[in-house]
Every structure is written in structure tokens, then in C-alpha cells.
A and B are shown apart, each in its own frame.
Chain A
Amino acid sequence: MRTKFFAATLSFAFLSGCTTMVQQVTYGSYEKSILSGQVDLATDAAIAKADVNAETGKAEDLLWSLEAGALLRFSKKYDESTGFFDDAEALMKQEDTEHLGSEALDGASSLLVNDSVADYEQAHYDGIMANTYKALNFMFNGDNSNARVEWNRVDDRQRRAAEDFAEKIAKLKEEIRAENEKEDNDQYREVTNQSISHVEELVASQGIDFSEWKAYGNYVNPFSTYMHGLFFMLNAQGSGDFSKAYDSMRRVASMTGNSTAKSDMVLADNLYRGRTSLKKMKPTVWVVFENGLGPKKDELRIDLPVFLASDNVSYSGMALPKLVEREQAFPTLSINDTETRILSEMDRVVQAEFKAEFPYILTREVTRTVLKTIAQKQLNDKDPMMGLAGAIAQMATTGADLRIWYSLPKDFQLAKLNKPKNGALTITAPGMESPLNVQLDPKARFSIVYVRAVSPTVTPSIDVVNI
């Protein structure tokens, strides 16, 4: 009996466990493909993992659909990219409106193992960026009607995110206040609270200082808001659109201080007030630079943080996700002597959301660790062999959820210049192997040149919107 139990525990541990290693291997090779310029390989991997249902033709894995959608843009497969983002949005909706029952079961199974076995629950910035990329896809395809719909979706998601964060922060404050007022002597709660305080100290000792992570106002993603404004300004169909553009530009200018955003805010206001018109404006080029790769997650493993009043456990530990910053591709781009400047950092958007979620991640992990450790102790009290099996299972199932949208950029940069008479742009950057040449459509009054670079060694992709 004991042998069977031991064997069963071991196989369970190996099957369900080592989740961290599996995640690290998967993401490791995916990241390597992107950074080495094998974007096609990474795209194929993402599409395979997006789990497209042969009957419905719809992707069923949310996170990998986002990856596939993002990478397909490199090869200018805009329709396919939009298809994956559409599927991702449908899955997000499913996740949002998931029946409380399945959510509870999802929670229960993740409590037994770790967060990575639960369905991926999208971050707000995932949804906002999915709609942003779709809007850009439609713009690159010259489909402004559908681009407008996506920009409106971006706006609605930003509104929802701001409300959700405000609610979350208020709720957390209330929970802390209520917790402080409790005076009961529930041993389990005491152990959990003690462990949480201890882990918070440990997290801080690892150099992870959340206090430096500050959200942009109302948790807005300024890049999406800026592009929303630029779209409505240059494709305005009535003064209402100029008003929308001004509103977006004003928000971005005050959040980021970016000089182009400031000048576009003034321009949108002048257009709205009829002081100028698109026809009177000099032909202009906006260069948007999507730079490097945003944060990824790594595991922060902490051993024996639980203050159980017993020595009868062989292992106890917990694993938390931590954000690891990645590199810019280039510090800046020069376009015919005009330099791009940082508009906003995706890093900061991701960090702010992670910081807001972290108390929940921490509480879940501490609760899980305490429960697993108590179970292990109880097994050990009955039979030390079974206790050992429990310890092995606990060790194997302890793992952080490292899932994150891997192919998002580190930052977004911006430049604005008068359209050269010959329509020729030369883009250079420190560390760029050879300059990029762009020939603009002579008929276009306005152009948006969109440059995406993942690393200094990979040739950037360029898309142009002619207006």
C-alpha cells in the first residue's frame, strides 16, 4: 500500500510538476528564435501552440493566439494576424464571463498544484494591445472603417481598465483594514499572515522594489491612446473626430511629456477649432518605433518560509513570478537627422499591472504553500514514508506562473518630420548594421512609418500607412 502510494505520488509529481522547467524551455526557445531573427520559426511555433480547432478554425489558446497575432505582423500577414487577435478576444470574453463554477474549479485545481495550471487570465494590457495591433493591421490594409472600430475598442478597454484598477485598489485597502481589525486567534490565518510578511521581506531583499513602478495615469497605455488620437486626427470625418483626437493627445502629452504628442495636441485643437485644416497642413511624416522586447517572467523560489509549529516536514517552499526586463533593440532611431524620442514604456505598463496583481498572487501562493505543508505534516505524522512522498510532490508542484505575452516591445518611440520633397527616408541607429531606406508614396500628404525592431541584429520590419 505504502509503495503504491509512494509511486503514485511520484508519478503525479513528475506529470503535473516541473511546470517551471517546461515553461522555461518553451519560452526559452521561442525567445531565442525571435532574437536570432528566425521570426518565421517563432511564428510557426506560436501558431502550433495557439491550438487551432480543425473544425471551427478558431484558436483555443489565448496567450499563444496573442503571440501568433503579434508575430504574423512581421511578415505582413495582417489578415491572419487579425484572425488570431479576434480569436484571442473571443477567448478573453470567455475568460471574463466564465461561470463562477468553472472559475472555482480552476481555482481549486491551481490551489492543488500552482497558478500555471489554471487557464491564462489576460492582463488588461493584453486586451488593449490586441485591439491596438488589430487597428494597426486594418490601417496598414487601408481599411479605415474597421480600424475605427478597433480604436473605439481600445478606448473602451482603457476605460474599463482604469475602473477595474480603481476598484481593485479600493478593495485591497478595505481588505487590509478589515484584516487589521480582526483579533481572533485562528492559527491558519496567523501562519498565513506571518508567511506573507516574511515573503514580502524576502521579495524586497531580492532587489525587487515595487515602489519604483508607477503606473501611467489611470493605468492607461499611452501608446495606444496616442495612436488612437493620431488615427482620428488624420482620418477625421467631422469635428467630433478632431475632438476625440485632441482628448487623446492631451492625455498622452500630460502623461508622457513627449514633445510630438504635445505638438499633436495643439494641432488637434487647432483642427477642432477650425484654425487650420488637414488640407492646409504641410505634408508630414510620423515615425513610430516599436523597440526591443518587454518584460518576461522568471521564477523567484523561496524555501521554507512557513512557520509551522512542527519540524515534521521535509520540504516547504514557494515560487513567485518576477518580472525581468529585456533589452531595447536600439536606443533611438534617426530619420533624415530627426531622432525618435520615447513616447511610453511598455515595461512600465506591464510593471504597474503586475504590481497591482502581486498581492493576490502572493496570497494565493502562501495559502497554497501552507495547505500543502500542513497536508505533508499530517501524512508524515501517520507514516514518515508517506510524508516524504508528500514532500516530493510539494517540491515538484511548486512553481511560478511564468506566462506573459512575450513578443510585446520594451518601449515605443516617436518622431515627426516634414515630408521630404523626394519622399525618401533614411533610417539609421547606433548599432544598426545597414540603414533602412523608405520611399514614401508621392501622392500621400501624410504618412505613418511604423518600424518594429526586436534586436540590433535582426533587420527591422517597416510598414507604411499613406493618408
Chain B
Amino acid sequence: MKMKVLAGVMISATLLSGCATKTYYVDQMTGQATKQETVAGLNYRDFSDAASQMVQSMLNNPRLRHKDADKGAVNILVVSNIINDTTQRIDTDQLTKKIRIDLLNSGQFITTTAVGLNGAEDEMSQRVRELKSSKLVNQATVKGNNTVIAPDYSLSGKIIQRNFTLSDDKQEINYYLQMTMTHLETGLAFWEGEVPIVKQGDGRSVSW
């Protein structure tokens, strides 16, 4: 008899153990969880979709079009600070790289790597000019001064996260991917965009 009870407990325990809560996207119109499975953090798809949406919005904005675009002129972009204000360790390049690629492919923007908030992204533009004193290098091939192009626009942004506890051991995780394109001549934000991403998942533990 006792063995039967113990076995019953074991079987119910095993059956219960199958009920792990998964994470799903939330439909932002209805506020209901969809059937599209995801992860609690931000993944490749989130960054890729957000970047595509933002680039589309940038390209549709007439203010960002170079006045001589018809003659092939392009805007020069510098990537400024992207603040990760979430609970996830995120490499913000995951977002900006995709934006840079799409903007470059659009033919309207080129990103400078010679200038950056914390120094140049690629210090080589500076370093190769130090070859001026090298006897080894053909001086005619050394890059001269006054040739590096200063940026016209700066791309900055912030990724914010807010978590909310729902009933039934679930939680809703809201991310806001916010970006601003600042026109450096005037200091005005010529373009701003926000992509919210809402997920619903296991509330028994933290979301990271």
C-alpha cells in the first residue's frame, strides 16, 4: 500500500516536471501573448527586426536626405553612445552594426570610423599618418592631412527594460529600443525612432 502511494507521488512529480513555462512575444495591439516563442533577453531576431524598422523609417524621412543626393552626395554618420539600460549584458553593436550596414547599402549614409566618443573606432586612420617619418614607406603613398571627413550626423540611443509581474507565475518584459539621429551642424534631432518589444515568460525567476 505504502509503495503504491510513494509511486503515485513519484509519477505525479514526474508529470508536473514537464510544465516549464516558455517565453512568447506579446501582441502589442491586444496585449496578449502570441504563439511565437522567443527568449527573455534580446536575441538576433529582435535586433535585426528593430534595425530594419528603424532604417526604413530613417530612409523615409526627407530631412535625412542629403541636399545633393541626386549628384551622388552622401551623409557621413558617426555612431555615438548607445546606452544599455537593461538587465541583460548586451553588445550594442548588435543593433548599430545592422543599422550601419543597411544605411550604407541604401547609398545615403557612410559611417566614419575615424571619430568616436571614446576615440576612433579604428585608430588606423590616425596611425598611418605617423608613417610620415618612416624611411621604409614610400612617402607618396602616405595619407596626407586634411583629408579625413568629419561627420554630418550622430546616431545615439538607449535600450530600456521594464519588467512587470503577472499572475500565474508569469512576467511581462518590455524593451524599448530608442534611437536618435542628430544633425551635427544644428544639434537638432532630425530623426527619432522607438521600437518596443514585449515578451511574456516565466515569472518564477529573473529575466536574465
Contacts and interface: CB of A to CB of B under 8 A. Distances in A.
Interface stretch (B16-24, B30-38, B45-53): B16-24
Interface of A is mostly: helix
Interface in B145-194: 158, 161, 163, 165
Contacts, number: 66
Interface residues of B, number: 28
B9 A104 contact: yes
Contacts of A445: none
A207 interface: no
B61 interface: no
A148 B158 CA distance: 12
Contacts of B17: 99-102
A152 B86 contact: yes
B136 interface: no
A25 interface: no
Q: How many of chain A's residues touch chain B, expressed as a range?
A: 20 to 34
Given A157-B206, A159-B163, A237-B83, A149 B88 contact: yes
A159 B16 CA distance: 28
A22 B19 CA distance: 37
A418 interface: no
A434 interface: no
Given A100-B13, A100-B16, A100-B17, A156 B205 contact: no
B83 A149 contact: no
B14 interface: yes
A99 B163 contact: no
Interface stretch (A90-98, A173-181, A188-196): A90-98
A163 B85 CA distance: 22
A392 to B, nearest CB: 22
B135 interface: no
A89 B206 CA distance: 9
Given A149-B87, A149-B89, A163-B165, A93 B206 contact: yes
Contact of A105 (B13, B163, B204): B13
Nearest to A107: B13
B75 to A, nearest CB: 25
A101 B16 contact: yes
Nearest to B161: A152
B9 A145 contact: no
Nearest to A102: B17
A100 B17 CA distance: 5
15 contacts: A93-B206, A96-B206, A97-B20, A97-B204, A99-B17, A100-B19, A101-B17, A104-B16, A145-B84, A148-B83, A153-B87, A156-B163, A156-B207, A159-B163, A237-B83
Given A96-B204, A101-B15, 6 more contacts: A102-B13, A102-B17, A145-B84, A149-B86, A160-B165, A237-B83
* Top 9 closest pairs, chain A to chain B, by CB: A101-B17, A96-B205, A99-B17, A101-B13, A100-B16, A104-B13, A153-B87, A152-B87, A93-B205
